Every structure is written in structure tokens, then in C-alpha cells.
Amino acid sequence: MGWVEIDGSYGEGGGQILRTAVALSVITGKAVRIYNIRANRPNSGLKPQHLHGILALKELSGARVKGAQVGSTELEFIPGEAKPKHVRVPISTAGSITLVLQALLPAMAFVGGSFEVTGGTDVPWSPPVDYLKHVTLFALGKMGLRVELEIRRRGHYPKGGGVVAGRVEPWEEKRPLVALEWEKVERFAGISHATNLPAHVAERQAKAARERIGELYNVPVEIETEVSRSLGPGSGIVVWAETDMLRLGGDALGKRGKPAEVVGREAADELLDQLKTRAAVDKFLGDQLIPFLAFAGGEIGVAEITNHLVTNVWVVEKFLGKVFEVEGEVGGPGVVRVVREVEV
């Protein structure tokens, strides 16, 4: 059996290499060895949230795994046959639920199944769950993939306790995604939430975002507010622009001492920044779409080519050979084109 060898310190050298590599191992049936895991990071090796993504994929595919423990800098993953099942992932900290789903969703797309993940829904350095639900899954829907996602409870740093459940229909009809530039913004929408905090926090975040967007765009801005209870306090807002192509997003998290108005404006500014280039795909969605694009085909215009995107292309091509052409420089706008579609 031939192994796919992946240097985990390549490019931005983060956990994403791991998530994409192990997902592709399950999809292709190829065993993978990843070494130098997160070698460039201050505390190298596997962290709990990476481990949970790997264990979820192990369960989905009945894999044999070596080196799956916190702090490990080398991992061997030999997949079995993936079958539809209900995968439960209990992260006991505020480890990111969306990062676990970034590993699980591409693999589950090929067999279907359901999941329940406990941990952090809205935590630093990872996409908030509302972004995944309303921006990422919207784009995947255009590619023919149906995913239902329900946010049962919010979870913030440091206590976590968030619960996200859902199901993935087997990806029968793969539709190419051609989304280069948007012509028109139809409307803006969003969700502003406050957990174990007064309702006015969510309202002030929403109002500030609404006002900031309204300075530049004369289209409806509909931001819902949500007030809930969980293990600990926290707040955040995700806003998105509904264009004639896809949705582009921006988000911000509250923290102690940071006024709700600042949080709302920060999310709005991040979104408005993404809209400046008129690219159909924001810089966060670009890298998330790479594993799916390889199988569906198409071409996308991205507001920014990030290191994450370039690294994800590299990992996918380690498994599948030359698939993509990337036009543009890291840090600027560009185009990602599928030059060879892949059959599984």
C-alpha cells in the first residue's frame, strides 16, 4: 500500500493541513502519514480539537490510527471503508466545533450520515458556527451538497458546552461552482447573539453593524438578535451580504471590556472590506471550498488568496495530483480554477 506523505510544517503549517489530509485519506482510501505536525507553532503537535477531528474521521471510516494523542508531532492514518453513521464528538473544552466539522464534512459528503459535536461554537481563530451555517453551507448547496445544521446551544471560551447537530445527505449530483464576480448585493443579513448576558448586548451589536453597512449600501439589512443561556458568557455577530452569486461574510466576537458597538462595527467592516474587490467569494470561504471544488469542478474569484488557501491546494494535490490553477498573489485578490476534475 502506497502512503501519502505530508509535511505538516508546509506553508502556514497549522491544523488545517491535518484536517484536509485526513478527510482526503477517508475519501480516497489512501493511507497518510503526517509529520512535523504544527512544527512552526509555539506549542507544536496535536491539540485537543485536532485530535477530535481525527477521531471523528476514524469512527466514520473504521480507520487504524497511530500517534493520535495530544502533543504528537506524527500521525499515521489508515482508513477502512467509510459508512454512513451517527458520529458524536465530545470536545470537553471550548475547542472549535466548526474546525472539527471542516474535517468531517468533506468525508461525510461521500457517504452521508449525521453528527453531534460539543465544544465551542463561537471562539477565537475559527469560523463562528453561524458563518458555517449561512455562508459555507449556502455555497456547498450551490454545488449540490445538502447539509442540515442545528445550533442547540452556544459555547464560548473558556467553558465551551456548545452543541451543534446535523446531517449530511450523500453528495449525488456534484455541480460545478462558477462564481467569479458579483454584480449586485440583494440584501444584508446576520445574527447577533448574547449568551448569559443582557439582551441589549445583542441589540447594540446588531444596531452598530446595521448603521455601518447603511452608510455604504442602500439595501435591506436584516440582523436577527438571539439571547440564550449556556455554561458561560459570551457574545458575537456574523453578518453576510447576499449577492447575485454567493454570500460573503464578516464576524466579530465580544469580550470583556469591549463595547458591543465596537463588536458590531468590526463585523460590518470586515464584510465591507471583502466586498471591495467584487470577488464572489470572501477570503474565509475560499480555502474552505478547496476540497469540495476538487470533486465538483468550477472556478471562483476570491477577495484574497490566503496562505490557508494555498496550503489547502497543496494538500489536495498531494492526494489527487494537479487539480487547480491559482491566479494572483498571496494577500491580494485572485482566481482559483479547477483544471482537472477528479472521480472517486
Annotated binding residues: 102, 284-288
Is the CB of residue 246 less than 8 Å from the CB of residue 280? Answer: yes
Element at 85 (helix H, strand E): none
Using a 10 angstrom Cβ sphere, with 0-12 exposed, 13-18 middle and 19 or more buried, the burial of residue 14 is buried
Residues forming a β-bridge with 56: none
Q: Write the DSSP string, 152-193.
A: EE--BTTTB-EEEEEEE----S---EEE-B---EEEEEEEEE
Q: How many beta carbons lie within 10 A of that of residue 250, not counting itself?
A: 27
Q: Write the DSSP string, 32-69.
A: EEEESTTTTSSS-S--HHHHHHHHHHHHHHT-EEES-S
Is the CB of residue 56 less than 8 Å from the CB of residue 84? Answer: no
Q: Exactly one of 50, 52, 134, 308 is catalytic; which is it?
A: 308
Annotated binding-site members for ATP: 102, 284-288
Q: How many CA atoms lie within 13 A of 341 on its CB side?
A: 10
Question: Cα separation of 153 and 230, whole Å?
Answer: 7
Pick the closest to residue 217 from 301, 279, 164, 275 (CA basis): 275
Question: Cα separation of 12 and 132, whole Å?
Answer: 22
Question: Cα separation of 19 and 331, whole Å?
Answer: 23
Question: Cα separation of 4 and 315, whole Å?
Answer: 10
Is 308 known to be catalytic? Answer: yes
Q: Identity (one letter) of the amino acid at 192? A: S
Question: Cα separation of 179 and 302, whole Å?
Answer: 9
Grid coordinates given for 220: 435591506
Active site residues: 308
